């Protein structure tokens, strides 16, 4: 029997996957957002991961918002978000709901593959019981599961889906091979078959945990060197001349992965009776950087005898990383909130962000190009290293300043900043 694939969830992870499979195999892309489905049918992907030509090239791909349209599929790939709640605990709601939906159309012989980042055990201990309960089928007898963690890097046009080696796994050896062979049809970089689903889950969750811990180290170093009046970047440049010094830089840690995934691992570790002090401390350090930057800005306002209350502050960039429209879990918002608490009036400019989409999420209000406005600012914070911002010269910032220029550079892209992280 020929495979027919359903990709459940068409965000940053799901849409590239659906497009690639749709070039070779009959594929249905499902998303519960009807507006999203209508846009994709018209050839528009608001994540900007796929352009119109990419979507048109996927000749075997169709879109739907109804799970009933996937009942003839035999492979279901679930790519929904796995966020955290306000207490930094895993929120498996999207995963649970999508598992229930797939369970309602699951048949004997079908395979369900999860790509969402989770802690070890979620697929077999949380999702499988739901699939069994809803479908009435028996796991590893009537249906099977796989896990192949996503490694999408939003906005990266070089390391795209097919060029990133893919970890695969299955609930038994036969399923593991089927899953591995399936991904080999689209992944040019090759695959790595993990020994079990739990190993694959653990591998994914530590990828971003490792980055988070390393960034926390250089963030703490930046805090230390700031108290000493030493440039952290100059220190890192000097230390980087040694062959085995890792090239991490200080900064904000947000987004859908690095600032979220470690909490999945720490949650499971604590459930098992182990306190992951290093990982939790790293999260605390990284989460505190926004407040540090905001307070640094306030200090310069005081030093330059500028008013704090009702002062106009401009923030350049809102997305969690450069050159993409993704604002999920962006820590720039924390800077805004901290400055608001001081009584400042904050404007945000980001040419990458959809204004209407931003209003639904944060309601901070994206302004038009500030360099074409008469408004003046007491301080300017360059928070995101968009390519458009790298060409802006100091004299342009001075022209929109209300006096002596206060220019805070978080990303190291400004020629002569007042202060640089």
Domains for the chain: give ranges and CATH numbers.
Answer: 5-204 (3.40.50.720), 288-420 (3.40.50.720)
Q: Which residues pair with 145 in a beta bridge?
A: 112
**Has 127 been annotated as catalytic?**
no
Question: Confidence band (pLDDT; 50, 70, 90) for 363?
Answer: low
- Contacts of 184-190 with C-beta under 8 Å, sequence gap 24+, read 185/21, 185/24, 185/25, 186/20, 186/21, 186/23, 186/24, 186/161, 186/162, 187/161, 187/162, 188/162, 188/163, 189/162, 189/163, 189/164, 189/165, 190/165, 190/166
- Residue of 73, 145, 257, 344 with catalytic role: 257
Give pLDDT tens digits for 99-108: 999 999 999 9
Helix (H, G, I), strand (E, B) or coil at 353: coil
Which residues, in sequence order, are bridge partners of residue 6?
28, 76
Alpha helices in 288-386 (DSSP H): 289-303, 332-341, 355-361
Q: Are 95 and 80 in contact (CB under 8 A)?
A: yes
* CA–CA distance, 181 with 335 (Å, rounded to integer): 46
Distance in Å from the first CA to the final CA of the chain: 57
Average pLDDT over residues 111-131: 97
Instruction: Identify the three-state secondary structure at position 35.
Output: helix
CA neighbor of 164 nearest in space, from 181, 179, 146, 149:
149
Cβ-contact 155, 172 below 8 angstroms: no
- Distance, in Å, from the CA atom of 61 to the CA atom of 145, rounded to the nearest integer, reads 23
Is the pLDDT score of 152 beyond 90?
no
Q: What is the pLDDT of residue 221?
A: 97
Question: What's the pLDDT score for residue 394?
Answer: 94
At residue 303, does pLDDT exceed 90? Answer: yes
Higher pLDDT, 47 or 263: 263
pLDDT at 46 over 80: yes
| Band of pLDDT at residue 377, cut at 50, 70 and 90 | very high
> d(Cα 225, Cα 228) in Å, to the nearest integer?
5
C-alpha–C-alpha distance, residues 317 and 96, integer Å? 34
Question: Residue 364: what pLDDT?
Answer: 67
- The token duo for 419 is 């202060």
* CB atoms closer than 10 angstroms to residue 375: 11
Locus of tokens 């649970």: 96
pLDDT tens digits along 245-286 = 999 999 999 888 899 999 999 999 999 999 999 999 999 999
The arithmetic mean of pLDDT across residues 386-414, rounded, is: 95
Among candidate residues 291, 320, 302, the one with its CA nearest the CA of residue 383: 320
């Amino acid at each position: 029997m020929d495979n027919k694939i359903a990709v459940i969830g068409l965000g940053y992870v799901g849409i590239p996957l659906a497009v690639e499979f749709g070039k070779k195999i009959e594929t249905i892309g499902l998303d519960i957002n009807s507006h999203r489905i209508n846009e994709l049918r018209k050839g528009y992907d608001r994540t900007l991961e796929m352009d119109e030509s990419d979507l048109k090239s996927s000749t075997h791909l169709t879109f739907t918002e109804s799970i009933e349209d996937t009942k003839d599929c035999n492979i279901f790939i679930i790519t929904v978000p796995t966020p955290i709640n306000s207490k930094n605990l895993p929120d498996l709601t999207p995963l649970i709901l999508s598992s229930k939906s797939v369970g309602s159309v699951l048949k004997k012989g079908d395979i369900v593959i999860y790509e969402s980042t989770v802690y070890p055990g979620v697929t077999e201990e949380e999702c499988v019981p739901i699939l069994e309960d809803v479908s009435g089928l028996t796991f590893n007898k009537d249906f099977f599961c796989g896990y192949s963690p996503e490694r999408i890097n939003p906005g990266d046009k070089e390391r795209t889906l097919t060029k990133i080696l893919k970890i695969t796994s299955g609930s038994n050896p036969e399923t593991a091979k089927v899953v591995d062979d399936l991904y080999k049809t689209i992944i040019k970089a090759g695959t790595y078959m993990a020994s079990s689903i739990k190993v694959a889950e653990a591998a994914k969750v530590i990828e971003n945990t490792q980055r988070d811990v390393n960034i926390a180290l250089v963030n703490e170093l930046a805090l230390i060197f700031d108290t000493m009046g030493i440039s952290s970047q100059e220190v890192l440049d000097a230390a980087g001349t040694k062959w085995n010094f890792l090239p991490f830089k200080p900064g904000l840690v947000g987004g859908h992965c690095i600032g979220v995934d470690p909490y999945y691992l720490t949650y499971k570790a604590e459930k098992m009776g182990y306190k992951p002090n290093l990982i939790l401390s790293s999260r605390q350090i990284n989460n505190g950087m926004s407040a540090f930057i905001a307070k640094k800005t306030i200090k310069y306002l005081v030093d330059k005898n500028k008013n704090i209350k009702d002062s106009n502050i401009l923030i350049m960039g809102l997305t969690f990383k450069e050159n993409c429209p993704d604002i999920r879990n962006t820590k720039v918002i924390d800077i805004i909130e901290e400055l608001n608490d001081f009584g400042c009036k904050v404007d945000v400019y980001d040419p990458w962000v959809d204004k209407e989409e931003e209003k639904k999420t944060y309601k901070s209000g994206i302004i038009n190009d500030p360099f074409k406005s008469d408004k003046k600012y007491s301080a300017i914070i360059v928070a995101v290293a968009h390519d458009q911002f790298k060409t802006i010269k100091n004299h342009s910032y001075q022209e929109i300043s209300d006096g002596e220029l206060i220019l805070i550079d978080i990303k190291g892209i400004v020629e002569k900043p007042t202060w640089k992280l």
